[in-house]
Chain A
Amino acid sequence: MALKKIIVFSLIIYFLILFQTSFLVHFVLLRYLPNLAVIFVLFLSIREKPDEKTALIMSFVGGLLLDAFSAKPFGFYALIFLITSLIIKFLLRKYIRLEISKA
């Protein structure tokens, strides 16, 4: 089930990156192009249950895919995405604990 999720999410990120690098780049009117892969990974990290690990894996995979299409050294985005996702998970876990302790 988790593997199926990972494959589906990887494909989504892959298409988002393609859409961004081949379609959105034409729109010179948009001064700041949104990084769709980052948005998607952040969305997964926030929505996911604290004990799940899919978002972490997706962060790393998404980063790797973005690395493949960027001029940065391979692994640059992969590590940044992973660390960002870890921080979000850590903050969310802490926040939920506080909520529980209040209850």
Chain B
Amino acid sequence: MIKSGFQLSKRIKFAILLAALAAILLMIDYLGLDSRIKNALFSVSSPLQNILWEQGQKTNSFLETIREIGEIKKRSEELELKNQELKAEIARLNELKGENETLRKALNLGLEKEFQLLMANVTGKDPFSDVLLIDKGSDNGITVGSPVITPEKVLIGLVQEVFPGFSRVSLLSDKKSLVSAQVQAENEEIVGVAKGQGNFKIAFDLIPQDKKIRTGDLLVTTTLGNFFPKDLLIGEIVQVDESDVKPFQTAQVKTAFDIENLKALFVITDFKK
């Protein structure tokens, strides 16, 4: 009983103490003494506060720099990636530009008026024979035997084999190639056969002995057999092999196309026969 009374009085004392403290604090606020107290404390603290403030700024600046280095690195990686994407885009646009130029060249020559054309790109070459691989096939309407030309109207060869998405083109210089050809001489047409010799070499054979051909003459296709349109350029006579013992003359022909520069080609799917 005494103990509980003691505890009660202790609690009351405590409550009174708390109330007194609250009242003192309220009085301080009410009388505006708090600003004086704060001012005094600030005055005492300001030297140390200034030092801490400066050090805080420096430390924060240092940490910010470290954080920024990480961000710059990340940003640099992003830009590197973007740069690669843009380079790939430039390469694609350059390819399109080349394709566009090829088409313009073909349009200027009026190829589309004479033939039905299908543009194709060279994707590979057979290392053991004069055969190219192009990126268009039977799905695009190419058939075996279709002539293949450059935008400059130079005959390259014939489609030898067709796959759904690709075709093999046998070049005129392929050993199996035999094309009826003619040389436009002064007043006459000298007809013969352009035979593939392999390694990008062509021979103009079966030229009658009484016909006169010269180096520099241009060899073009004939309509014989209706395999090719007329007057597609094959090449230029570079050497005439005359022999009295042979029944025919033979000439060496330099192809009009350069295998290194072959990129875009046209497959003639139909022509006026």
Contact = CB atoms under 8 A, between A and B. Distances in A.
Given A26-B59, A68-B37, A75 B22 contact: yes
Nearest to A15: B48
B55 A74 contact: no
Contacts, number: 63
A23 B52 contact: yes
B81 interface: no
24 contacts: A14-B45, A18-B48, A18-B49, A19-B52, A21-B49, A22-B48, A22-B50, A22-B52, A22-B53, A22-B56, A25-B56, A26-B59, A26-B60, A27-B63, A28-B60, A68-B38, A69-B41, A74-B25, A74-B33, A74-B37, A75-B26, A78-B21, A78-B25, A79-B21
A24 B56 contact: yes
B80 interface: no
B97 to A, nearest CB: 49
Given A18-B48, A22-B48, A28-B60, 11 more contacts: A21-B49, A22-B53, A24-B56, A25-B56, A26-B53, A27-B56, A27-B63, A29-B63, A69-B38, A74-B29, A75-B25
A89 to B, nearest CB: 11
Given A21-B49, A82-B18, A75 B28 contact: yes
A21 B49 CA distance: 8
Nearest to A79: B22
> Which 8 pairs of residues, A with B, have the shortest CB-CB distance?
A75-B25, A74-B34, A22-B52, A26-B56, A26-B60, A23-B56, A23-B52, A22-B49
A21 B33 CA distance: 22
A26 B25 contact: no
Counting chain B residues whose Cβ lies within 8 A of the other chain, the interface size class is: 20 to 34
Given A22-B52, A22-B56, A60 B21 contact: yes
B194 to A, nearest CB: 80
B57 interface: yes
Nearest to A14: B45
Contacts of B29: 73-75
A68 B52 contact: no
Given A18-B45, A79-B21, A27 B60 contact: yes
A25 B22 CA distance: 30
B211 interface: no
Contacts of B21: 60, 75, 78-79, 82
Interface string B129-147: 0000000000000000000
Interface in B42-81: 42, 45, 48-50, 52-53, 55-57, 59-60, 63, 67
B53 A23 contact: yes
Contacts of A18: 45, 48-49, 52
Nearest to B34: A74
Given A19-B52, A79-B21, A79-B25, A29 B41 contact: no
Contacts of B42: 68
A8 to B, nearest CB: 17
Interface in A19-39: 19, 21-29
A1 B56 CA distance: 35
Interface in B204-249: none
Contacts of A24: 56
Contacts of A78: 21, 25
Nearest to B44: A14
Contacts of A25: 56
Nearest to B59: A26
